[in-house]
């Protein structure tokens, strides 16, 4: 993909096949003449708005969101500006199509749906020459790489190269929600093989048909990749996405203070959870440092949330030990207790002295939590008995069922079983729930409230690292945009139809924080808001300099 200048713009059929430069039927008569397009387009010259109208009609005729995704994906391959014009016109409608929950179905069938390449595939076969492979990408000013191994996709497990749908979708939201210029983003599938035998046997599977390597070989491969990114794209932020949990934690710990990077599954999930929890506590006039928080799920996402909550409590004056004492964690094997021999290094600080238990209801009785957070990927884990007991213990139980695509309980279940008292959020967006004459508006604690604004602030300020304090500031920037009237209706996040404005406001807040703490590597402007609004992407056709 190229991005046109007066010197590099392609001509003729090549121009119509370049999604970044193509205007389709919107090319003017003069552009058609000079750029060798005459005869290649129907005679009617249309506006971008008229083209979008046609797209909406196509989308309305599609039978389901998977077909709408396929259509929009093809549109993005043909005409990037029109794609973003459509998606940014109604984020509340289109984010669930190009991202979760539709993206789960896309990834399961990615090799079967494949039409044309997008992004890059760096495989174990490229060992020793990753930098030269990266140089095949035509854009030099890459500022964000979203990279996955496909090792843990949306509760689907290891789906190898089929996971490429995730980096593509994530980076589309950088632009659609955060107005980051799309030419600065690069999705990458780091193909290390897959443990999924069914995929390896699938004749249409597009990835390496082998098991992943041993840890030492993988570590060396990732080290070469990270070093190659620094060499080829020195201003780039690496966004780690959907790696196997142990790998995700290990690589974030290894690289977060060495290069500009973050892990959205760990830090983005933590930030949006902290934001929703902050709003919920404002509704009940509670303090974070006084909550008993129970996690059902102790993988990379759960540990990332827990670690950030500990850091946030420390900022409120608690010691690390006292903050950790406010958190109890379970995984599929049961309560994290010191007698277990299967705990990871990152889980051990949360292990309790006491009897083991695999019964969530029993742990609730022992811990009496005020907050229940599900990051288990186990659908329906929060049963009626669990929600009712949380409601007996708390007048306003805080219940976050964050697993995608299968939430631990639905919004309707949470509100019905708690008799309307739950403060609820899920990883996907549920519709409004009507119980009698009361309407309940479930929140979507999804990372798209965080990473696009964080990306825009990073794009603007060029910090050397993304710290936990920046992540916490992103959470507070989001929570502060939930006004009093919205909180009064039980909503924990801003409306999705305002997402672009929300992300730009968050980016301004983060940029100010980065400048205030001397972390930026650009000169501070007099007016941060005006400055950021001047560099954001807007989906309009740019004039072409004609000779």
Question: Which of 23, 85, 170, 244 is flagged as catalytic?
Answer: 170
Give all strands of the β-sheet with 398-401 in edge-to-edge order.
Answer: 334-335, 327-331, 293-296, 371-374, 398-401, 423-426, 443-444
For residues 426 and 445, is the Cβ–Cβ distance under 8 A?
yes
Residue 396 phi/psi, 5° resolution?
-135, 80
Q: Is 162 annotated as a binding residue?
A: no
Q: Annotated catalytic, 99? A: yes
Q: Integer distance in angstroms from the first to the last C-alpha of the chain? A: 23
Q: Beta strand 433-435 with 438-440: parallel, antiparallel or unpaired? A: antiparallel
Q: Is 36 annotated as a binding residue?
A: no
Radius of gyration of the chain, Cα coordinates, nearest whole angstrom:
24
Q: Residue 162: CB partners within 8 Å, gap ≥ 6?
A: 107, 108, 109, 110, 111, 150, 153, 199, 205, 206, 207
Q: How far apart are CA 460 and CA 143, in angstroms?
A: 10
For residues 158 and 435, is the Cβ–Cβ distance under 8 A?
no
> Which helix H or strand E contains 424, and what residues bound it?
strand 423-426
The DSSP result for 149-190, as a single string, is -SSS-TTS---GGGGGHHHHHHHHHHHHTT---GGGEEEEEE
Q: How far apart are CA 307 and CA 301, in angstroms?
A: 10
| Cα–Cα distance list, 196 to 168, 190, 217, 430 (Å) | 22, 16, 19, 31
Tally of CB atoms within 10 A around 320: 12
CA angle 328, 333, 299 (to 5 degrees): 60
Of 360, 280, 284, 281, whose CA–CA distance to 328 is shortest?
A: 360
Q: Annotated catalytic, 513? A: no
Q: How far apart are CA 317 and CA 115, in angstroms?
A: 54
Q: How far apart are CA 515 and CA 504, in angstroms?
A: 16
Q: Is 265 annotated as a binding residue?
A: yes
CA 172, chain centre distance (Å): 10
Q: Is 241 annotated as a binding residue?
A: yes
Any idea how long the chain is? 547
Greatest Cα pair distance in the chain:
79
For residues 163 and 153, is the Cβ–Cβ distance under 8 A?
yes
For residues 199 and 151, is the Cβ–Cβ distance under 8 A?
no
DSSP state of 332: T
Question: Which of 69, 84, 99, 350 is flagged as catalytic?
Answer: 99
Catalytic residues: 99, 170
Which residues carry a binding-site annotation for (S)-malate? 152, 446
Which residues carry a binding-site annotation? 152, 241-242, 265, 446
Which residues carry a binding-site annotation for a divalent metal cation? 241-242, 265
């Amino acid at each position: 993909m190229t991005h046109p200048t007066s010197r590099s713009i392609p001509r003729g059929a090549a121009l119509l096949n370049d999604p970044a430069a193509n205007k389709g039927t919107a090319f003017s008569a003069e552009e058609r003449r000079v750029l060798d397009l005459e005869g290649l387009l129907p005679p009617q010259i249309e506006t971008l708005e008229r083209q979008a109208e046609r797209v909406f009609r196509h989308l309305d005729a599609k039978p389901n969101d998977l077909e709408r995704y396929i259509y929009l994906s093809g549109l993005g391959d043909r005409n990037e500006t029109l794609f973003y014009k459509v998606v940014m016109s109604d984020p509340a409608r289109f984010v669930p199509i190009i991202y979760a929950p539709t993206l789960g179905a896309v990834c399961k069938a990615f090799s079967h749906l494949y039409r044309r390449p997008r992004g890059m595939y760096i495989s174990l076969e490229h060992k020793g020459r990753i930098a030269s492979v990266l140089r095949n990408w035509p854009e030099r000013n890459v500022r964000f790489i979203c990279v996955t191994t496909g090792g843990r996709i949306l509760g689907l497990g290891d789906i190898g190269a089929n996971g490429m749908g995730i980096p593509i979708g994530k980076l589309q939201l950088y632009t659609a929600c955060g107005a980051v210029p799309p030419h600065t983003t690069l999705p990458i599938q780091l193909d290390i093989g897959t443990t999924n035998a069914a995929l390896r046997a699938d004749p249409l599977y597009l990835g390496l048909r082998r098991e992943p390597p041993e840890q030492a070989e993988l570590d060396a491969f990732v080290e070469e990749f990270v070093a190659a990114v620094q060499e080829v794209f020195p201003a780039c932020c690496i966004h780690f996405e959907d790696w196997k949990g142990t790998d995700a934690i290990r690589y974030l710990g290894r690289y977060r203070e060495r290069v500009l990077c973050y892990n959205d599954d760990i830090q983005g999930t933590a930030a949006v959870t902290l934001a929703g929890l902050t709003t919920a506590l404002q509704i009940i006039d509670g303090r974070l440092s006084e909550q008993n928080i129970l996690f059902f799920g102790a993988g990379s996402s759960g540990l990332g949330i827990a670690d950030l909550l500990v850091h946030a409590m420390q900022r409120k004056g608690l010691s690390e030990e006292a903050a950790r004492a406010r958190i109890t964690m379970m995984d599929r094997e049961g309560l994290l207790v010191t007698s277990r021999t299967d705990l990871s290094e990152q889980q051990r600080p949360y292990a309790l002295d006491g009897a083991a238990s695999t019964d969530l209801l029993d742990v609730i009785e022992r811990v009496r939590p005020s907050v229940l957070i599900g990051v288990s990927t186990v659908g329906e884990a929060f049963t009626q008995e669990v929600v009712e007991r949380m409601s007996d213990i708390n007048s306003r139980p805080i219940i976050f069922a964050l697993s995608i695509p299968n939430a631990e309980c639905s919004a309707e279940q949470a509100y019905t079983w708690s008799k309307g008292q739950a403060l609820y959020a899920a990883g996907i967006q549920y519709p409004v729930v009507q119980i009698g004459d009361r309407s309940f508006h479930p929140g979507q604690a999804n990372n798209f409230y965080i990473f696009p604004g964080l990306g825009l602030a990073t794009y603007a300020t060029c910090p050397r690292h993304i710290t936990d304090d920046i992540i916490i500031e992103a959470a507070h920037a989001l929570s502060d945009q939930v006004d009093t009237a919205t909180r009064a209706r039980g909503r924990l996040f801003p409306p999705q139809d305002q997402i672009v404005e929300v992300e730009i406001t968050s980016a301004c807040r983060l940029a100010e924080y980065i400048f205030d703490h001397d972390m930026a590597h650009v000169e501070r402007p007099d007016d941060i808001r005006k400055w950021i609004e001047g560099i954001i992407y807007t989906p309009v056709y740019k004039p072409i300099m004609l000779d």
